[in-house]
Structure 1
Amino acid sequence: MPENSPPKQNALGDISLLYAAVLLRATEAEGGNIDKLKARFRLDDAALASADARISIPRFMRLGHAAITATGNPALGLRMGALTRPVDAGMAGLAAETASSVRQAFRSLIRYSLLTSQNSRGEPSVDEFQRTVRFYSIQPYNPYNYFVVDSILAAWTQLARHITGRYDVLEKVWIEYPSIGLDDVFESWFRCPVEFGARENAIRLKESVWRQSPSQAHEGMYEKLSGVCERELRQIRKGWSVADRVRHLLTPLLRGETPTLEILAARLGTTAWTLQRQLSAEGTGFRQLLDDTRKQLAEDYLKETDTSLAEIAWLLGFANPPAFHKAYQRWHGTSPGERRKQIRSDS
């Protein structure tokens, strides 16, 4: 039976179907039946070929889990990485391919990541001094999202290999989720030590690689491509209200705690009083925005994922599950457990 169509907007985020196309290529390479997956998830060739089409994050995770089940390969994310090309990251990938150095390539790839992915969990980052590229935490981990971390770290590694012509590009890999018993497979693929159960998801590139000029480095083309990316990035952010900017920063900070107005103001480079005044001018306030964000995220977690109620409470920044239950009862007049039962019954 085909998966139900996702909502027009999903508070948990969405990503380009370019990534789904890579997942399907990896599935086919591993002997999986991609026609069945495309039918189940209603993915047609026109959408998969589009540079602008999107898929919700939860839907992408379900697609990945179904692909792993179909292939029997729990390390399918590594296969995805091996089959990832610069163009699969959109214009940002093409700009990275023509950068003057690997350092500049990753700086561009991370700067323009918003062009192909918007995730409530956070944004990737690059530490140029440490030669480290980081992928945000997507706790709690489960069989539906291990492959996401694998595929991103592997795709970054593959980019470095592709633009340098070298295979031994890394010093170390850190993976936040605990070992699933494939340590040797991962170390063989990355060709460096891999630490599971780490404090972050990241790769560190060798110094010689970090400084190396890509084989297709071209100053004029890089300037043109990065200029296109800058315009698209400005266009995305141009439509953001102050409330949108606060919500964008707020959601990743919710895990296990409630961020304060002062913290958000500092992130935006302003004062708490000024931020509150700006929100008030838009007809909202920090407390209302926090409550509305939690309400929307809670509904999407219940509808789109199998995340436990205790984990949802933590992800929404509540002190404990009873506090989440009390808030949900206030929002909807029912408990989150009853709401989940209703959703599953309707499905």
Structure 2
Amino acid sequence: MRSENTTTATTNSATPVTLADGLAVADAGFELPSLGDGDKVDLLALTRLPGIGPKRCLTLLQTFGSARDTLAAPVAEWAQVVGRRVAQEARRKPLDRRWAEAQRAHVERLGGCMVTISDADYPALLGEISVPPPVLFSLGAPVWTGPCVAVVGSRRATQYGRRMARDLSRELTRSGICVVSGMARGIDSAAHEGAIEGGGNTTAVPGCGADVVFPQENRGLYRKILERGAVLSEFPMGERPSSGSFPRRNRIISGLSLGVVVVETPERSGALITARYATEQNRQVYAVPGEALSGRNTGCHRLIRDGARLVETVD
């Protein structure tokens, strides 16, 4: 299979292709020493210190080697890595290891696990993006370890859009591919439903904790996803969604995937954020065309003009 960046496909992007075109696996990026259970808890606690987001957390780990060694390092050494102000603010707060232990116990009680970036079963493609999540919470089976393709689109989907998302996802799973989406209303829900109908695997990446169902109307779908795949999140267990959590999780949806299929989306949409992340991550972007006079498809048509591959079928 050949791999092409979406920015280089402009000359032939309007020619319908199959989803098999352009998909290739890339090498993982971050390499960290394996962590014991105690170090995993320390790592989770580290991510909750003020000012220590995923990027700074990974920089600290690469500098000091492990979460435990990072936490044992003097503030002066932290300051050389993340700056004096951030170092002093972060280290001023007591490490909440009890909270981190409770998080691990909770996900394990639900039959899931905490996956860190140093684990062998951490998603390889996700590890290559610029800022991979240091810790993931997984419920269900780790179906995201195999080949994945994301199918995303508008929450306000038409019958046509839902049918296309469902049909494409069903055929993808029949080809042995895990369908990744965000479990939102509309296209996301249809993508998960199609994967389940196809008897294959699907992974939901919500903008909240893996044990939180959002929207509530998807409770039945959530249960089916856990039966046929996984719910994977970087947000702590029990965390409710916020306006900023959805764009943040979009980098994970694309990062898990060989390619991203956008179905029915307007000019301003979270699906376009996912497509942008996919381009930055050197993933192939596909778009399904729609009615030219409908504002519901302007985002897909712009993606095609900008170099995304026009797709109508899987085969």
User: What TM-score do you get using the length of structure 2 for normalisation?
Assistant: 0.26
More helix by share: 1
More strand by share: 2
User: What TM-score do you get using the length of structure 1 for normalisation?
Assistant: 0.24
Larger Rg: 1
Structure with bigger RCO (C-alpha 8 Å, 6+ apart): 2
